[in-house]
Amino acid sequence: MIESKYYKTWEQYMAEHPEISEREEKAMSSRMQTYEEMMFGFVMFLLI
């Protein structure tokens, strides 16, 4: 796994935001992780 202060896994995001309810977590989890990975890939593309 990549160590980064910008890229976060869903588990790390949830640990930092305990206010998110279980219901919200189910609705958000797949979308948030996908967007995070897409954004990270885009930034890496720009840097290369």
Q: Which residues contact 38 (CB under 8 A, 6 or more apart)?
A: none
User: pLDDT at position 1, please?
Assistant: 60
The tens digit of pLDDT for each residue in 1-37 reads 667 777 778 888 889 999 999 999 888 888 888 888 8
Q: Which residues contact 40 (CB under 8 A, 6 or more apart)?
A: 6, 7
DSSP string, 1-48: ----SS---HHHHHHH-TTS-HHHHHHHHHHHHHHHHHHHHHHHHHH-
Whole-structure pTM over 0.85, yes or no? no
